[in-house]
């Protein structure tokens, strides 16, 4: 088994854990670990810029935002955790299927059929890439961070007092089509 399959397996395992764990803090930690493994994969494939960003933004900044948000919540009743235990049996199968799909489709199939043209592209330096070539992306990412902050502030607001807010559902407002 090659190292890239091991890393891929770890990445998929951490990300599936992030989805399955009902404890938000543990899920956030699993996500951060997944990001760290992804950063290693980026370095492994000689993409240091992507690796640096993945490590600093996704494993660092996003983790801080998530933990801060989780700090605003309170723990739910434990009955929810009991209910989802059967789902854990599917975990190893899900990991194997996901790794198989990614390894076969992306690495084996597409990689060999997508002729890369890196030889024709001159790679600018890190600072040039960040501050000149992809400057608008920074503006876009700034906007996304603002969206995240305002979304958290909006969804945890106390004003308004709408009937049926914060999880209650009035009798005449059943959701449709499920």
Partner 1 sequence: MLLFVFLPIAAAALIPVFEKVWKELVDFLANAVALALLVLALAFITPLRYNGPMVLNFSELFQFSMTFYLDSLSLLLLLVINGVGLMALVYSIEYMKEYGGKGRYYALFLLMLAGMNGVVLSHDLFGLYVFLEVAACSSYALVAFGMKHEELEAAFKYLILAAAASALILLSIALIYARTGNLDMKLVSDGINFSLYQGDKAIVFMIILLVAGFGLKMAMVPFHAWLPDAHPSAPAPISAMLSGVLIKASGVYALMRILYNVFGISNLPKVGFMLMGMGILTIVIGGILALVQTDYKRLLAYSSIGQIGYILLGFGIGTPLGFAGALFHLMNHAAFKSLLFLNAGAVQQATGTRDLNRMGGLAKRMPVTALTSLFGSLSISGVPPFNGFLSKLVILVAAIQAGHMLGNHIYYWYAAVGIGFSVVTLAYFLKVQRKAFFGKLNETLAGVREVKFAMTLPMIILALLCLALGIGFPWLNQALLSPAANTLTSLFVR
Residue from the set 1, 89, 93, 166 that interacts with partner 1 by CB under 8 A: 166
Residues 6+ apart with CB under 8 A from 97: none
Choose one: 32-40, 52-60, 86-94, 129-137; the region binding partner 1 (CB under 8 A).
129-137
The answer to whether 134 contacts partner 1 (rule: CB under 8 A) is yes
Interaction pattern, residues 87-126, with partner 1; x per rule: CB under 8 A: -----------------------x--xxxxxx-xx-----
The answer to whether 141 contacts partner 1 (rule: CB under 8 A) is yes
The answer to whether 139 contacts partner 1 (rule: CB under 8 A) is yes
Inter-helix orientation angle 62-71/24-44, to 10°:
180
- Interface with partner 1: number of residues (CB under 8 A): 45
| Rg (the chain; Cα; Å) | 21
How far is Cα 124 from Cα 122, in angstroms, rounded to an integer?
A: 6
Handedness of CA 50, 56, 61, 66 (dihedral sign): positive
Q: Which residue, 1 or 178, is less far from partner 1 as judged by CB?
A: 178
The answer to whether 150 contacts partner 1 (rule: CB under 8 A) is yes
| Residue 109, CA distances (Å) to 11, 94, 104, 151 in order | 20, 21, 6, 40
How far is Cα 133 from Cα 123, in angstroms, rounded to an integer?
A: 11
Residues that bind partner 1 (CB under 8 A): 110, 113-118, 120-121, 132-137, 139-144, 146-148, 150-151, 153-155, 157, 159-162, 164-169, 172-173, 175-177
């Amino acid at each position: 088994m090659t190292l890239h399959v091991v890393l891929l397996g770890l990445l998929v395992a951490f990300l599936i854990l992030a989805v399955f764990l009902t404890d938000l803090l543990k899920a956030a930690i699993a996500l951060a670990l997944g990001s760290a493994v992804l950063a290693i994969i980026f370095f492994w494939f000689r993409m240091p810029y992507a690796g640096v960003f993945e490590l600093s933004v996704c494993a660092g900044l996003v983790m801080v935002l998530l933990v801060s948000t989780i700090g605003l919540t309170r723990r739910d009743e434990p009955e929810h955790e009991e209910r989802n235990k059967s789902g854990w049996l599917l975990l190893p199968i899900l990991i194997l299927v996901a790794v198989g799909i990614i390894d076969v489709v992306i690495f084996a199939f597409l990689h060999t059929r997508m002729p890369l043209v890196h030889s024709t592209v001159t790679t600018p330096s890190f600072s040039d890439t960040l501050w000149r070539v992809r400057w608008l992306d920074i503006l876009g990412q700034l906007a996304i961070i603002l969206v995240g902050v305002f979304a958290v502030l909006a969804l945890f607001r106390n004003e308004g007092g709408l009937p049926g807010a914060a999880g209650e559902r009035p009798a005449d407002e059943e959701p449709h089509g499920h």
